[in-house]
Amino acid sequence: MTAHHADFIAKLRQIEELAAGVHGELPQSLLLLRTRIQHIVVLAKTLRGRLEFGPMAIVPVETGAPSPGAPEKPPA
C-alpha cells in the first residue's frame, strides 16, 4: 500500500467517525437528515473496506453445495 492510499484510507476513516458523531447528536425528529448522515457513514466504511481489503469476488455456487467454511457432514 502506498502512502497515498494510506492517507486516503485515514481520511475516509475520519469522515466515517465525524459523520457517526453527528448522527448520534441529531434528534430523532430530523429523520431525513439522520438517514443521509448514516448513508455517509456506510459509504465511507464501504470505500475504506474496498481499499483496505481489496475487491471481493462473488461466484455462483451449485444448489446443494456446502457453503465455504461450513463443517463437513459425516457420511450417512
Transcribe the chain into DSSP letters. Answer: --HHHHHHHHHHHHHHHHHHHHHHHS-TT-HHHHHHHHHHHHHHHHHHHHHHH---------TTPPPTTPPPPPP-
More confident residue, 25 or 60: 25
Note the pLDDT tens digit of each residue in 8-38: 999 999 999 999 999 999 999 999 999 999 9
Say yes or no to pLDDT of 5 above 70.
yes
Set of cell numbers at residue 18 = 465525524
pTM across the whole model: 0.63
- Domain residue spans of the chain: 26-55
